[in-house]
Amino acid sequence: MLKSLSKITLLILIAFILKSHKTDEGMFPLSQLNQVDFKAAGFNISQKDVYNPDGIALTDALVRLGGCTGSFVSNEGLIITNHHCVFGSVAGVSTKEKDYLEKGFYAKGKDKELKIGLTCRITKSYEDVSNKILEGILPTMTPAQKNDIIAQNIGILTKAEQSKNPELTIEISEMFVGFSYTLFRYQTLKDVRLVYVPPRTIGEFGGETDNWEWPKHTGDFSFVRAYVSKDGKPAEYSPDNIPYTPKKFLKVNPKGTKENDLVFILGYPGTTYRHKPYQFLEYQQKHILPFISEWYGWRMNKMEELGKGNRERELKLAGNIKSLANTKKNFEGKLFGLKETGLLATKKAEQVALEKTFMAKNNLTTAPLFFKVINDIYSEKLKNGKHDMLLNRFNNDCGSLAAALIVQNAVIANPNAPDQSNTEFWTKWKTNVKNTLKNNYRMNDVDLDKAILSELIKRGKKLKGKSKIKGLSKIKKADKWINSAYAESYYDEPTFLFKLLDSVPWQVYKNTGKFQELAIKLLPELQALSAIQQAQNDKLDEQLPLLLDAKLKYCDKKFIPDANSTLRFTYGYISAYKEGLNKSPYPYTYRNEIFKKNATDNIDYRLSAEVKGLLETKAIANTLIEENKKDIPVCMLYNLDTTGGNSGSPVMNADGELVGVNFDRAYTATLNDYSWNKDYSRSIAVDIRFVLYTMKYLDNCEDLISEMGVNL
């Protein structure tokens, strides 16, 4: 059934491709670039200039850098991306004495570049493999059986493709659930080094105050360099490695853009949810978005409190705080967008109309079963949302408890453990536990760990009735229990725990402390919830392709797969907000506005005396100055369709030249994960003119500017 449905879907998709013209919405996969009328949109380049499987194109200059995007800007492996994309890496190589996070870093020579823990991927090619992945699927199979066959087929095909291309990384991505699968071939470069990052007061100017906001004045950019072995092959870090030579690198246009200019982006957007049923959106709006934004806010406040007066601890927690803050405001923006646009009501009305159309077209008196199954699953999820959201945090957010749960799970899996003389058993047992701990156990800060677990217990004990977490019933006073549990435990000491596992694993197995008692009580509830959610997901995986098939048949819309971290193309125009939706009527911000913000008492707008003095530089290359404003543009605003993962994406003009680096959506555009909106969807880039200005006049990066072929 699924296999035949996928063929129907493919025919319908082809029909849409043939008749469709440009709409503002769209994160186009490379296979759907022919939906874009390049000439009518205003491009001076063609589709083949963007992606050409038989030649060299702009896609060859793109890299996926960690969870972000980057692009080559020289033939020596130089990559431009965002400041926030390397934030954690910079924090990791910073010390109190060498605080690169605060002061910035510039390697004056390749031998001074710093090794960081990032890798980058280059998309080499792709191939539709839907028929191969869905081979063997039968209508009578259960969701679990279908998923097993799909997983098996993916494994077989990945292994076969990997053997043909041992130098590449092979991944098969699901484009439409149960319908469409694409095989991607990536080249992975493992030696990436830090080249240049501006001072924090430039790269993070505006901080949390301006995060997801417009107008914005953030120099959110940085440079790294990819290296390979002397024979040109990807390799781990070595001092003997040489800069990677890309097939293509982007030309930098120091003149920038003007309002209404066409711009486009290539990048690796993370995940969108535009083809989910309206009930999914309802669950997001009622439970996930409000709970996570509030909980992350609590955790951030606790980390900031712990970091006061201790710079080493502050640096250690900085990356985590930034990540939580980013998600928190993102979720708050989504809630705002959902409320302002009434998207939930719109999606519900569309689905109800689809149900009626489906019945009429097929001469049915009752709706098909898949509509009811989807509704029943989400009704259950909505009813239990408060309990489920909180219970899952016990498994995710406290390192000590996570370790105890991992050990307890291993005990349950081996209830009749032999005595310590059985070396073979204990070697296998401790190896499995250690491997699981390495993947799931993080202890950033013991005091933070204590505070998180204490807060979770207090919140959990407030739940009543069917929402009650039974495993907490024996704990009377959270803080007293916490102090006692940590005093006797070694779960908050990863090094000691691993030593115990190596030397006396049977003692870890027999642990009877308070953490183990709590793990014994919570584990059945966590396992039951996991089983319920897995069963719900299995059913949804079976029903959602049927809903999608109905949409494709009976909705007069163009369908583009949800973003899934694969390379996408989106385009639009430099565009301010519609009047009344934002305090700024302009699609650009300027250098002089930085000083106005800095004049306030807000610490997010701080500038060091040195940086402020350099920002006031008067003798500036005319190329970088916008004639009308007599000033340097800092950031720019446009109506492209972007989401998370597009951070670091190159913003290019109609000629395919680099004019900016995408780094944020405006607050109203966090809604993009669910739907693009012509009035609310606005994304933000640091203007290339401010990038070059900062490099030349603040940090004297003449060598890098020259390497990029720019003459100022």
Cα 629 → chain centroid? 36
Domain boundary among 534, 549, 582: 534
Q: What is the mean pLDDT of residues 475-496?
A: 94
Q: pLDDT over 90 for what percent of the chain? A: 84
- 670 shares a domain with 611: yes
Helices (H) and strands (E) in the chain, counts: 26, 19
pLDDT of residue 391: 97
> Are 692 and 712 spatial neighbours (Cβ–Cβ below 8 Å)?
yes
Residue 182 contacts residue 129 (beta carbons within 8 Å)? yes
What separation, in Å, do the N-terminal and C-terminal C-alpha atoms of the chain show? 62
* pLDDT at residue number 322: 84
Check residue 178 and give its pLDDT. 77
Structure tokens at 634: 């800092």
Segment among 188-202, 297-311, 438-452 with least mean pLDDT: 438-452
What is the reported pLDDT for 7?
42
d(CA 590, CA 654) in angstroms, rounded, equals 23
* DSSP state letter for 287: I
Q: Does residue 506 share a domain with residue 565? A: no
| 665 strand-pairing partners | 683
Q: What pLDDT score was predicted for residue 145?
A: 86
Q: pLDDT by residue (tens digit) across 360-377?
A: 999 999 989 999 999 999
In whole angstroms, what is the distance from residue 141 CA to residue 3 CA?
13
Q: Are residues 708 and 610 located together in one domain of the fold?
A: yes
Classify residue 615: in a domain, yes or no: yes
Q: pLDDT tens digit string along 552-608?
A: 888 866 678 899 999 999 999 999 999 999 999 999 999 999 999 999 999 999 999
Residue 677, in any domain of the structure: yes
**Whose CA is closest to 51, among 133, 126, 142, 140?**
126
Domain count across the chain: 2
Angle at 677 between CA 672 and CA 680, to 5 degrees: 85
pLDDT in tens, 170-209: 999 988 877 789 999 999 999 999 999 999 999 999 998 9
Q: Is residue 358 in a domain?
A: no
Contact between 129 and 181 under an 8 Å Cβ cutoff? The reply is yes
Its domain, for residue 476, covers: 385-534
452 and 527 part of one domain: yes
Same domain for 131 and 244, yes or no, is yes
Cα 75 → chain centroid: 28
pLDDT above 80 (res 5)? no
Whether residue 87 is found in the same domain as residue 226: yes
SS (H, E, C) 175-218: EECCCEEEEEEEEEECEEEEEEECCHHHHCCCHHHHCCCCCCCC
Same domain, 72 and 213: yes
pLDDT digits (tens, 9 = 90+) for 253-287: 999 999 999 999 999 999 999 999 999 999 999 99
The answer as to whether 379 is a domain residue is no
Does 574 lie in the same domain as 497?
no
Query: Which helix (H) or strand (E) covers residue 469, if one does?
Result: none
Contacts for 453 with CB less than 8 Å, ≥ 6 apart: 398, 400, 401, 482
Regarding pTM above 0.85, the answer is no
441 and 578 both lie in a single domain: no
Looking at the fold, whether 509 and 415 belong to one and the same domain comes out as: yes
Does an H or E element contain 543, and which? Answer: helix 514-554
Same domain, 564 and 472: no
Q: How is the chain split among helix, strand and coil, in percent rounded to 5?
A: 50, 15, 35
Instruction: Provide the residue type at 561 as one letter.
Output: P
80, part of any domain = yes
Residue 4 binned pLDDT confidence (cut-offs 50, 70, 90)? very low
Domain membership of residue 31 (yes or no) is yes
The sheet carrying 588-590 orders its strands as: 28-29, 568-573, 262-267, 650-652, 658-665, 683-687, 633-638, 588-590
Both tokens of 77, joined, read 């492996």
Dihedral Cα 631, 635, 636, 642, nearest 10 deg: 170
Considering the domain architecture, whether residues 512 and 629 belong to the same structural domain is answered as no
In a domain, 308, yes or no: no
pLDDT reported for residue 144: 76
In this structure, what CATH number is given to the domain that contains residue 566? 2.40.10.120
Residue-level pLDDT at 559:
76
pLDDT of residue 24: 56
The mean predicted confidence, pLDDT, of the chain is: 92
What is the spatial distance between Cα 244 and Cα 591, in angstroms, rounded to a whole number? 35
Per residue in 586-600, pLDDT (tens digit) is 999 999 999 999 999
Residue 402 located in a structural domain: yes
Could you say which of 534, 568, 598 is where a domain stops? 534
Per-residue pLDDT tens digits for 416-431:
999 999 999 999 999 9
